[in-house]
Amino acid sequence: MGQRDRLGGIYLFAGLPEDQIRDLSGISSLRTFKKGSLIFSEGELATGFYVLSRGKVKIYKLSAEGREFILHIFASGEPFGEVPVFTGGNYPAYAEALSDCEALYFPRAEFVRLISGNPSLALNMLALLSRRLKNFSALLEDLSLKEVPGRLAAYLLLSGKKNRQQVELDVSKNQLAGLLGTIPETLSRILTKLARAGLIKQINNRTLVILDEEGLAELAGGVRRLE
Amino acid sequence: MGQRDRLGGIYLFAGLPEDQIRDLSGISSLRTFKKGSLIFSEGELATGFYVLSRGKVKIYKLSAEGREFILHIFASGEPFGEVPVFTGGNYPAYAEALSDCEALYFPRAEFVRLISGNPSLALNMLALLSRRLKNFSALLEDLSLKEVPGRLAAYLLLSGKKNRQQVELDVSKNQLAGLLGTIPETLSRILTKLARAGLIKQINNRTLVILDEEGLAELAGGVRRLE
DNA sequence: AAGGTTCCTTGATTTATATCAAAAACAGCC
DNA sequence: GGCTGTTTTTGATATAAATCAAGGAACCTT
């Protein structure tokens, strides 16, 4: 499969005419990353951004003591590392391949040139950044106003929406802890509490079943508390 | 002063040719808000965004129990409420006037039309949203990986940069607590500790002096801890 | 299937911060 | 300049979550 074909299903490029897809394809190049490899580091000078075409990528920050907080986990079709394209300067976080990955790389200068002559692309990019901002405000809200059980409940409800109550975690519990702004021990304890309260049932390390959607929603909304 | 004149010093409109400034002026209207009044609510349908020309505005979220977390405090010249312009839908947070305010209002549809025919404006907007994202990642990092003293130290250093060690808080300590993701009591205690440790000296409710910039930086970086 | 490695869970303890309550300091205002 | 309401501070206590430590389960490799 060539670059051209990879551009088809990407939200950022939706609705663009054929010739502009061709231009985009022309400036991009394919890069591959082995599972566990670092794609870029916080503070590193950014010369372009990526659109993931295969695999999963984790965007995260590190504390002074080495604890990590995961800002986002991206799946196929999603752009990442786009912030410094428009602010200039450095990547604001780390990016690591969670599995073997394949991504299209767009060099900054060329992409900005394309976007300047292309209002639809600009609007798509504006929509993308706005959605990210909305996401981040929700995350900030959760972190500062909810406790861990609430955040976990919200996450489970979101993941359960698709597969009717059966939740297949798309990250390890260790990763999930980082995503919820806590540590594995705490996550484990709270999952046990949720199970004891009859809200969920743990099947194995990666799957669980939602038994009481109502109850989880109350937890997520801060109406109810555990125990 | 007319709308035209108000558009001059605004970063979002920097570098735009005269005729486009005229267009922007043409679609905007001036709105005023009394201190303490609500400009928009979370979840409210957004029909446009604002550029603040006088006063201060607080953007915040509310928890189920009524605790508030301040995402941002905007001063004159800064746009706010722009996220739903591009995602469609609702404002993701509350906006309240912290003082008597004056703001230019830009209706969504007209603004999107202008931006479509105007690459420079689009790029300025992209830069603005990207800067916001960068900001939010830093905030998320602080909230999940630093404790309150570290966040406070970082805030003080930032505020002190301008006025050489003399920090004139631009918000009340109550607001500052909300901005740091904590509550007034905790903030007060930590300020006292900072003073006892010889890092700062409190002058009055709104001003303090930084005595040991090094020490604050160590706190902010997570190298040092209080007590 | 055995071994090793990673991942997950459980327990005991500590710590940072929230909560509740009340006093003290400050700021605006007639 | 003294009064009133708001903001800030201080104290005692409660609690969520981190830390330290270790045991168990799951997973992968050869």
Confidence check: pLDDT of B5 > 70: no
What pLDDT, on the 0 to 100 scale, is given for residue A21? Answer: 92
- Strand C nucleotides, any atom under 7 Å from protein beta carbons: they are 7-12, 16-21, 26-27
What does the pLDDT look like over B94-106, one tens digit per residue? 999 988 899 999 9
What does the pLDDT look like over B49-90, one tens digit per residue? 999 999 999 999 998 888 899 999 999 999 999 999 999 999
Residues 6+ apart with CB under 8 A from A5: none
Nearest nucleotide to A182 by CA–C1' distance? D17
What pLDDT, on the 0 to 100 scale, is given for residue B1? Answer: 53
Q: Does A109 touch chain B (CB under 8 A)?
A: no
- Kindly state the DSSP code that residue B46 receives in the 8-state scheme: P
- In degrees and rounded to multiples of 5, residue A38 shows phi and psi of -85, 125
Instruction: To the nearest 10°, report the CA torsion of A210, A215, A216, A221.
Output: 160
Alpha-helical segments (H) within A32-118: 83-87, 108-116
- Kindly state the DSSP code that residue A146 receives in the 8-state scheme: S
- Identify the CA nearest to A71 among candidates A12, A127, A138: A138
| For residues A187-191, average pLDDT | 97
Q: Which two tokens stand for residue A16?
A: 């663009």
Nearest nucleotide to A184 by CA–C1' distance? C8
Nearest chain B CA: its distance from A216 CA (Å): 15
- Smallest Cβ–Cβ distance between A143 and the set B62, B143, B221 belongs to B143
Tell if A172 CB is < 7 Å from nucleic strand C. Answer: yes
Beta-carbon neighbour count of residue B163 at 10 Å?
Answer: 11
Q: Does A86 touch chain B (CB under 8 A)?
A: yes
B129 in Cβ contact with B159 (< 8 Å)? no
Q: Which residue has the higher pLDDT, B7 or B197?
A: B197
Please state whether the predicted TM-score (pTM) of the whole model is above 0.85: yes
Residues 6+ apart with CB under 8 A from A4: A21, A22, A25
Q: Which residue of A has its CA nearest to B70?
A: A141
Q: Does A199 touch chain B (CB under 8 A)?
A: no
| Contacts A63 to B, Cβ<8 Å | 141, 145-146, 222
B42 falls in which pLDDT band (50, 70, 90)? Answer: very high
Provide, in whole angstroms, the distance separating residue B206's CA from nucleotide C14's C1'.
Answer: 35
